Structure 1
Amino acid sequence: MRRFYQGSDLARIHSIAELAELARRRLPAFAWEYLAGGAEDELTLTRNRQAFAALGLQARTLVPCHPPSTRCALLGQSLPLPMAIGPTGYNGLLYRDADIHLAQAATARGLPYCLSTVSNAALEEIVSQVPGVDLWFQLYAMRDLGIQNDLLERAGRAGCSTLLLTSDAMVLGNREWDRRNYVRPRQLSLANKLDVLCHPRWLRQVMWPRGLPRLGNLDPYLPESERSALGSMKFIGEQMDSLLDWDSLARLRDRWPGKLLLKGVLHADDAEQAIALGLDGIVISNHGGRQLDGAVSSLEALAALAPKVRGRLALLLDGGIRRGSDILKARALGADAVLLGRATLYGVAVAGSDGAGRALDLLAEELRRSLNLMGCPALDRLGPDCLHLKPLAEAFARPPTANPEALS
């Protein structure tokens, strides 16, 4: 009978799906739901995976299998792999000091790490505890410009090379399954409180001895009563600048001296506008299926806009990446690199920096193996001719299946 490994030997974990199952078993239900779930009917969450599954690979044969080159150029840097760990919030609910562990895993492999505005570790902590980190910072636009400007100054002092402005979360998505864990905002149901007690390892790892983690970047601006991970949610909701527009982005471009990316782009016209404002890149993203349910998959959006804008700014993609072959497909469609979210979060939830590192290593191994099996000696040899594009359109003529991660 087929079943995933359930022990602690990371060498026996052979896929991101296996890491996900271990994470599900180790986390309380409310924390797992926050990690794995999506908005409303989870159509976009599922569509992100369906798009990769529907896209066929056109392999060439009788090509010698030398170790393939996976180096890539991104934003003026040379990276060993076309990936970075993307910004995710409230990671301390998964593992103590999870942000630091993620940064350590990325840095050990020569990859960038992007810290979220709503991280549990502060910018200053990452820099002090992870020597040599290539630190990026993700910014949520704030109504209070004093707070926003102070965050930008802190990011500059911390040596952040790249800023990502998230544009698709000015209004929070309707994450119904997440909300069902609470009887009212920030108060877990009795069933969930009992479930937490059934996870003593998580209680020791996350809650002992200080309770819920705070939000390191926002801690200086929060009222004392709202500094925990759950307590801060009200503050975040009130501070999101729902009037963010292109003029706001232009002002940010003038203010930020480093690389600037816009995260949350799905339309080619928006990519053109980003080019006109002098941005260095975009992140093609539907926020992991957590915002607008029914939005196109990131991969579909990449296929539509890459032919129009590739080479004029950096193209990054996130959403649904679970295999090295997914990264290969994104590269073939025109992405320069991918940002990883849930894949490395599953790893950090299981075993901190070692678990996150295992996730990165699995994806790297699969990418190299897939390139060999494709008969492709290097990333820069990938293109649309390596793909069978027709199924991508046909796949969405059928209704999406249920999200297996949310149901597991």
Structure 2
Amino acid sequence: MMGQFPATVADYRERAKRRLPGFLFDYIDGGAGEEQTLRANTSAWQQVLLRQRVLVNVDQIETDARVAGQTLAMPLVLAPIGLGGMSARRGEVQAVRAANARGVPFTLSTVGICGIEEVAAAGAMLNWFQLYMLRDRSVVDAILRRVAASGVQTLVFTVDLPLAGSRHRDVRNGVATPGLGPKLLRVSQVLRRPRWIVDVALRGKPLSFANLAGHGPAAGDFEAFRSWIDAQFDPTVTWDDIARLRERWPGKLILKGILDVEDAEQAAKLGADGLIVSNHGGRQLDGVRATALALPDIARTCGSKLDVLVDGGVRSGIDVFRALALGAKAVMIGRPWVFALAAGGESALHTLLGRWQKELQVAMALTGVRRLADIGPACLDTSVQAQIGQPKEPLNKFRGDAGHGWPAQDQARK
């Protein structure tokens, strides 16, 4: 009997879990600490209620968005995922092809498997690159030159990684832990996935950190290279470094990892073109605010000065609508695209993106809007208490004039 077809991110996640080695699935799926923030990111969106309207002419709905100087088919960008290319054969190449076919950008991680040249050749139309500020600035300079030479115009700079987060799942799987025992554990997990061995480990070679080739230890030695990368994260980075980066990078600059309004204002002062409201998918500091909670105040304060994006816990086209109603220009998705790719490759990701666009269109139609510019606070239902999590105030309770205020976050925290 044939199995059911996947319809949601949760469905793709289950398939990915059955196909990936355990340590790799946990690396993608897991978060920091007890994973409180990881769970909160998803549940917070579910507390944002939509205001349904009927008998409104919603013919010819438009989902086109203008982000970082580019026109997108919908307000969505594939986020950078370290090791994302190990989810499928030459995974980042498949991902950029699926993304570009749906008219949205793909963001390649510094610690992706495929190199910037390979990914750019597969999808140069809409291709972004993510960068860390490493201790060895010569490595940063070399990467920037390669990125510029590949035609990339949008640089996503991650600012919330002075140190690697504490991820318990990685510890349990012996990731980056020396010794024979941890290595045998990971080998046993790989051997349970013969399909992955053939499709990815053998047919998908080389499995190396191609963007960092020539720097540090051999890029194919994952244990040694991960230790080198962890040591390269620079806790001394300050806003002065961002100012210097802004001077050197001629394209669009988007800062990823902003949760605080004061940090958002500083990003705008230094000339960033955009920012991503992000807690690193709950993978860095456990116990911080869900991004749906942090977004409204940042969008209200800085949305007119730069493009405000958001990531973390977005799991459907309806969540995309919610993010726009709370002030975002677009969303970034990470785990959803990796799960889809692991579950069924490029075609599965292409299908998922198309389904999300349809879900966004349905949400627009049933809230009475035809253009993204019309999505705002007035599209949210403030009359009832959100049930999930039982907050003292619903996330979409607004202060100020109706239709022009933003969520009363201070009240929600009391």
Q: Could you tell me the TM-score, scaled by structure 2's length?
A: 0.89
1:207-254: CA deviation from partner (whole Å, max 9, x where unpaired): 126777100100121323x53344310110111111111000000001
Displacement after TM superposition at 1:197 (Å): 1.5
The residue type paired with residue 376 of structure 2 is G
Deviation at 1:93, TM superposition (A): 2.4
Could you tell which deviates more after superposition, 306-315 or 71-80? 71-80
Alignment match of 1:139 (pick from 127, 131, 147)? 131
C-alpha distance after superposition, 1:92-118 (max 9, x if no partner) = 321121011111111112211111110
| Contact 1:93/1:212 (<8 A) preserved | no
SS at match of 2:88: coil
Counterpart contact for 1:6–1:22, Cα < 8 Å: no
In structure 2, which of residues 181, 206, 214 is the aligned counterpart of residue 220 of structure 1?
Answer: 214
Q: Does 1:193 align with 2:187?
A: yes
Q: Which of 179, 187, 206 in structure 1 is aligned with 2:200?
A: 206
1:276 is matched with which residue? 269
Find the aligned partners of 2:128 and 2:268 in 1 and give their Cα distance.
Answer: 20
Displacement of 1:393 in angstroms is 11
Which letter maps to 2:273?
D
Match of 1:90 among 72, 75, 83: 83
After superposition, residues 361-372 of structure 1 pair within 5 angstroms as: 361-372=354-365
Q: Which amino acid aligns with 2:266?
A: Q
1:59 counterpart residue number: 52
Q: Would you say the 8 A contact 2:124–2:152 is kept in 1?
A: no
The farther-off stretch of 280-289 and 133-142 is 133-142
TM-score of the superposition, structure 1-length normalised?
0.90
Contact persistence 2:133–2:237 (CA under 8 A) = yes
Relative to structure 1, the CA distance from residue 66 to residue 98 in structure 2 (aligned partners, 3 Å threshold; closer, same or farther) is same
State the AA in 2 paired with 1:243.
T
- Judge conservation of contact 2:45–2:322 (CA < 8 Å) in 1: yes
Matched letter for residue 172 of structure 1: A
Deviation of 1:338 after TM superposition, in Å, equals 0.7
The residue number in structure 2 matching 1:241 is: 234
> 1:235–1:6: structure 2 CA closer, same or farther, 3 Å change rule?
farther
Instruction: Describe how 1:8-47 pairs up with structure 2 within 5 A.
Output: 12-47=5-40
In 2, Cα distance between the equivalents of 1:178 and 1:370?
Answer: 38
Within-5 A mapping of 1:8-407: 12-128=5-121, 130-182=122-174, 185=177, 188=182, 190-208=184-202, 213-224=207-218, 227-388=220-381, 391=385, 395=389, 397=391
Structure 1 residues 360-394: Cα deviation after superposition (integer angstroms, max 9, x where no partner):
11211111112112222221111112113575799
Q: Quick one: distance in 1 between partners of 2:299 and 2:204?
A: 47
What letter is aligned with 1:14? A
**CA pair 103-394 structure 1, distance change in 2 beyond 3 A:** closer
Letter in 1 for 2:302: V
Q: Which amino acid aligns with 1:272?
A: E
- Structure 1 segments, 4+ long, off by >6 Å, are none
Q: Is the 8 A contact 1:74 1:314 kept in 2?
A: yes
Identity %: 37
In structure 1, give the amino acid aligned to 2:187.
K
Shift of 1:169: 1.3
In 1, Cα distance between equivalents of 2:205 and 2:61: 47
Structure 1 CA distance for aligned equivalents of residues 381 and 168 of structure 2: 36
Kept in 2: contact 1:16–1:362 (CA 8 A): no
Pair 189,212 (structure 1): closer, same or farther in 2 beyond 3 Å: farther
Does the CA-based 8 Å contact 2:65-2:372 persist in structure 1? yes
1:71–1:186 distance in 2 versus 1, CA, 3 Å:
farther
Cα distance, 1:285 vs. partner?
A: 0.3
Question: AA paired with 1:258?
Answer: G
Contact 2:176–2:227 (8 Å) recurs in 1: no
SS of corresponding position for 2:309 = strand
Residues 341 and 394 (structure 1 numbering): CA distance in 2 closer, same or farther, change over 3 Å? Answer: closer
Shift of residue 18 of structure 1? 1.1
Deviation per residue, 1:315-344 (Å, 9 max, x gap):
011111111000000001110001110111
- Cα distance 1:73–1:43, how it changes in 2: closer, same or farther (>3 A)? same
The answer as to whether partners of 1:100 and 1:121 remain within 8 angstroms in 2 is yes
| Worse-superposed segment, 289-298 or 65-74 | 65-74
**Per the alignment, in what secondary structure is the counterpart of residue 25 of structure 1?**
helix
For residue 336 of structure 1, what is the amino acid of its counterpart? K
1:243-283, Cα deviation, whole Å (9 max, x unpaired): 11100000000110111111100011111101111110101
Unaligned runs of 5+ residues in structure 2 are: 393-414
